[in-house]
Structure 1
Amino acid sequence: MRIFLSILLLSISFTVSARQKVYDFNTRCQQAYEAIMQLRINDGKALLEAEKKEHPDNLIPYFLDNYADFFTLYFNEDPAEYAAKKGLRASRLSLMEQGPDSSPYYLYSQAAIKFQWAMVRVKFGEKWDAAWEIRKAFMMLKDNQRKFPQFPPNTMLISAMQTVFGTIPDGYKWISSVLGMKGSIKQGMQNLQSFIDSNAPLAQTFRPEAYYYYCYLKLFMESNPDELWQFIQRRQLDTRNNYLFALMVANLAVTNLKADLGIKILTERNNGPAYAGIPYEYYLMGLLKMNRQDDDAHVYLEKFINTFKGKFNVKEALQRLSWYYYLHGNMEAANKYRNLILTRGSAEADNDKQALKEARSGKWPNSFLLKVRLLSDGGFFNDALKLMQTKKAADFALIEEKLEYAYRLGRIYDEMGSDDQAIAMYDATVKAGSNRPEYYAARAALQMGYIYEKRNDKVKARQCYQSCLDMPDHDFKNSLDQRAKAGLQRVGG
């Protein structure tokens, strides 16, 4: 009997150890991925749990678990949630290593997990770890591409990374030296476009993720807003039922001076209980409504400040709140929110740095120029121009106000298609402000570069982009330098 039991136990042990883990991106996993990419996180998790119970050896549900955690950690920046989930990174990577290395998912799943955690680590101030994580992810993807050249998801992530490499601003040069890699905007975007256009089943499965990368890169790396909006319309991105797309398009609307569109997108989206709670939406709506100068803009900014547990964008949101009350003549509330800028949030991002700098200065912006700025940032150029035509540069006493006047007028002419008038105002801004701490001269040089690039005058475009890079420390330097470097790549600089 004892011998029989020993043989039976050995047999069971051998059977268990011999059971092979698999990567099966089956229909249920595809449905879970789609739900998570729409930020219907709980729906996606329910599908993943069902898959785990029915097919316990399938590793894909554990891979997709990381997507669900990534979005909530990245958008919400909750320190308690991060502390609770940080250990899952290692356990999931260990799980992915249990699958067969003959599968393209073996390296891809590990690389994607590393890439996602790198993005999260940036939000929690772990920049050094994030840099190494990105490098490891990229090397894994390159290795996987050599082994499985016909595996489409490789192309999606590698292309997105390659597009960004090489445009890292001087303020983050330590990252560039760690990564030790160069990229190509042109090649990266071409490869990403090929992935999006592919009819391969896996390319179609991962297409929502590719859309997300492509749209941001199209605007910030290629600086081609016209093609961006055409792409969004042509692909008919579902901003009503896909919360991720709604947030993306609203964010792009903030950046690309389209307040009406952004507000429409966020107002009309499906906000049913299935979708994750993302306070970032309040931040976007607050900015958009500030630009349109809606009376209820403060409601959304205050919701963001009161519900968001992270640090990014907090100082900027407080700055906008202080502006709101400043423009409404309520200096008690304006000073209250300005003082909070000094103690809340972080100053990692350029927008937050500028908000902190303004709060520390103790100076309030010129109310006239502030109204013009908000209208212009919202895309209300006719209204902004009418205001500007009631003043001239000589009406302003301070050099920084004269500079801002010239720059704002240049941006308005630029956005209205009056390129020659825009260049004249931008050139005046650069000549007068290239050695000053305000960002007006650097941004004017960048915008001139865009105009000359559009005219296919590569020599002048290169001069303008280089001029932007050469200007010493100023507001928004990291983000402006990155755009200027991207411009130089495009025109062969």
Structure 2
Amino acid sequence: MRQFLFLLTFFFASLFTAGAQQKFDFNAACLQAYQEINKLKFETAEAQLQKIRLQQPDNLVPILLDNYIDFYTLFFNEDPDYYTRQMGVMQSRLDLLQKGDKSSPFYLYSQSMLRIQRGAVQIKFGNFWDAGWDIRKAYILIKENRKKFPKFSPNEMLYGALESIMGTIPKGYKWLTNLLGMRGSITEGMKKMKDFTNSNEYWARQFSNEASFIYPYLLFHIGNERKQALDFVENKKLDLVNNHLHAFMAANLSLNNKEAAKCKLIIQHRNKSAEYLSTPVWDFQLGYAHIYHLDLDDAIEHFEQFTREFRGKFYLKDSYQKISWAYYLLGNQQQAEAFRKQTLAKGSTLSDADKKANRDAKENNWPNPLLLKARLLSDGGYHAEAYKLLQGKTSNDFSSLADKLDFAYRAARIYDDLGRKDDAIRNYLVAIKLGENRREHFAARAALQIGLIYEERGDKTTAIKYYQQCMNMEGHEFKDSLDQKAKSGIERCKGN
């Protein structure tokens, strides 16, 4: 039905092209639909867009808003059939936008936004080269729009986000950004995003929902301002019940900040109306929220629901691994083995988590149950419970070098989270010594964590030393993501 409506719009638009200039009128009706879309409330938004198409067939803004719906749908659900159909539709939309009024600030802006959305979707489906060229073109378009319309504030949201992300590209991928002609600065990009997000200017207010989704992610993952990111959600009083986009962001950041209980509450209290995008990612996050508290039966239920409903490939192997771990800790080895086989058979290895799950399944070794429980509790923010599990233990209680390394790193992370930073550093250094030449990620991550501690203390020289040590380690798990975090740390410490 949506594809038919788009073709109908395309037909009417082609008629108007011959006799009238296609325009970009981001009027009240379009703004209302845009706000609903950025709540993931698609049923309401699509009804509004249908009226606008009929009443304003020469208005190109609904074309861009249609693309928002496809972007969010593909980004969250990764349906390969829908992807195959809609990629051609996205190109047709781009062709339409290019026929619009060139004197409008939305002419280049809308093309840039569509290309960013298409590029992000293509990354999800493993088409990295096509994604790179789309993002390069988006960067060029928004850069040009800033020159033509310097007072058009939405430029700062797009350009600031791109500039921040480009500033974190690890050295192994610098050839790509050089080839694509893109330059980044974390400091400058974050400042643009902060100013736009906190601005009371007209367009900044209208685009506030979208900016308030992007900015906390940049704060959390690039600026390493985790507390500020979560405080932003609180201080802005974002609606985590009726805005599913903000609910997803807040739940996801809470989970990454070791606040599994908070993540669970956000998801459970969201508006369950059928008007919103239906997505199994809620079950994926709930699976984690439960396994982090060792609520193993509940974790199995939600991870299995995710694997049944999800049409994509990201985090499937990771989910099957967590199901196998849950059965393993419950003592059901038969089911644990069965889901380990599923880990090998399903999904892809595009994400670091999936690569790790696949490698672990291939090696067919089971983790030490005590260390696994401590790890899960620690990752969920249950630090006191994790500490009690390991209290009184030393590396001598573990026979294999892998377990000794795991113990040293896990003890360090628990001390770190409990605020015992010197104890944490001491154990991180042991982890580096034991693991710097091994493929496990513990040594590199330990160096990263020491860098974070010294950066927080204001000792930027020492912080850079450990960030660089993290980047210098080769051949370990999570190499790309850890290098990006370390690169971000170095750039922050240098003020770039």
Regarding TM over 0.5, the answer is yes
Q: What does the per-residue CA deviation read over 1:210-251, in whole Å, with 9 as the maximum and x for residues that have no partner?
A: 111111111111111111121111011111111111111111
Instruction: Look up the SS of the partner of 2:24 in the other structure.
Output: coil
Determine if the alignment matches structure 1 residue 485 to structure 2 residue 484. no
Q: What does the per-residue CA deviation read over 1:280-329, in whole Å, with 9 as the maximum and x for residues that have no partner?
A: 11111101111011131110000000000100010100110000000001
Moved over 4 A (4+): 13-16, 170-174
Query: In the alignment, what sits opposite 1:151?
Result: 152
Q: What does the per-residue CA deviation read over 1:440-491, in whole Å, with 9 as the maximum and x for residues that have no partner?
A: 1111110110110011001110001000000111111111110000000011
Query: In the alignment, what sits opposite 1:473?
Result: 475
Query: In the alignment, what sits opposite 1:131?
Result: 132
Structure 1 residue 169: Cα displacement: 3.0
Query: In the alignment, what sits opposite 1:379?
Result: 381
Counterpart of 1:442 (choices 420, 441, 444) is 444
Paired residue type of 2:225: N
Query: In the alignment, what sits opposite 1:178?
Result: 179
Superposition pairs for residues 33-52 of structure 1, below 5 Å? Answer: 33-52=34-53
Superposition pairs for residues 22-101 of structure 1, below 5 Å? Answer: 22-101=23-102
* Distance in structure 2 (CA, Å) of the matches to 1:326 and 1:201: 55
Instruction: Look up the SS of the partner of 2:292 in the other structure.
Output: helix
* Distance in structure 1 (CA, Å) of the matches to 2:475 and 2:469: 13
* Distance in structure 2 (CA, Å) of the matches to 1:61 and 1:414: 49
2:16 and 2:22 in contact (8 A); partners too: no
Residues 165, 464 of structure 1: CA spacing in aligned structure 2 closer, same or farther, 3 A cutoff? same
Determine if the alignment matches structure 1 residue 20 to structure 2 residue 21. yes
Paired residue type of 1:44: A
Q: What does the per-residue CA deviation read over 1:250-305, in whole Å, with 9 as the maximum and x for residues that have no partner?
A: 11122110000000000111111111111111111101111011131110000000
Query: In the alignment, what sits opposite 2:423?
Result: 421
Q: What does the per-residue CA deviation read over 1:117-139, in whole Å, with 9 as the maximum and x for residues that have no partner?
A: 00001111111000000000000
* Distance in structure 1 (CA, Å) of the matches to 2:171 and 2:80: 29
Superposition pairs for residues 178-327 of structure 1, below 5 Å? Answer: 178-294=179-295, 295-327=297-329
Paired residue type of 2:249: M
Instruction: Look up the SS of the partner of 1:441 in the other structure.
Output: helix
Query: In the alignment, what sits opposite 1:111?
Result: 112
Say which is worse superposed, 167-176 or 338-347, in terms of deviation. Answer: 167-176
Paired residue type of 2:402: E
> What is the TM-score normalised by the length of structure 2?
0.95
2:139 and 2:182 in contact (8 A); partners too: no
Question: Please, which runs of 5 or more residues in structure 1 have no aligned partner?
Answer: 1-12
Structure 1 residue 342: Cα displacement: 1.1
> What is the TM-score normalised by the length of structure 1?
0.95
1:414 and 1:422 in contact (8 A); partners too: yes
Residues 60, 16 of structure 1: CA spacing in aligned structure 2 closer, same or farther, 3 A cutoff? closer
1:132 and 1:178 in contact (8 A); partners too: no
Instruction: Look up the SS of the partner of 2:120 in the other structure.
Output: helix
Structure 1 residue 170: Cα displacement: 5.0
Structure 1 residue 175: Cα displacement: 3.6
* Distance in structure 2 (CA, Å) of the matches to 1:290 and 1:374: 7
Counterpart of 1:368 (choices 370, 373, 385) is 370
2:111 and 2:138 in contact (8 A); partners too: yes
Say which is worse superposed, 161-170 or 43-52, in terms of deviation. Answer: 161-170
Query: In the alignment, what sits opposite 1:8?
Result: none
* Distance in structure 1 (CA, Å) of the matches to 2:31 and 2:123: 28
Instruction: Look up the SS of the partner of 2:345 in the other structure.
Output: coil
2:230 and 2:250 in contact (8 A); partners too: no
Instruction: Look up the SS of the partner of 2:494 in the other structure.
Output: coil
Paired residue type of 1:252: L
Question: Please, which runs of 5 or more residues in structure 2 have no aligned partner?
Answer: 1-13
Q: What does the per-residue CA deviation read over 1:391-450, in whole Å, with 9 as the maximum and x for residues that have no partner?
A: 211000011111111111111111111111111111111122111111111111101101
Residues 15, 437 of structure 1: CA spacing in aligned structure 2 closer, same or farther, 3 A cutoff? closer
Residues 14, 72 of structure 1: CA spacing in aligned structure 2 closer, same or farther, 3 A cutoff? closer
Structure number with larger C-alpha Rg = 1
Residues 64, 427 of structure 1: CA spacing in aligned structure 2 closer, same or farther, 3 A cutoff? same
* Distance in structure 1 (CA, Å) of the matches to 2:200 and 2:287: 39
Paired residue type of 2:142: L
Paired residue type of 2:424: A
* Distance in structure 2 (CA, Å) of the matches to 1:315 and 1:180: 35
Determine if the alignment matches structure 1 residue 329 to structure 2 residue 331. yes
* Distance in structure 2 (CA, Å) of the matches to 1:96 and 1:328: 56
Counterpart of 2:395 (choices 369, 393, 396) is 393
* Distance in structure 2 (CA, Å) of the matches to 1:15 and 1:317: 50
Residues 356, 171 of structure 1: CA spacing in aligned structure 2 closer, same or farther, 3 A cutoff? farther
2:164 and 2:187 in contact (8 A); partners too: yes
2:145 and 2:155 in contact (8 A); partners too: yes
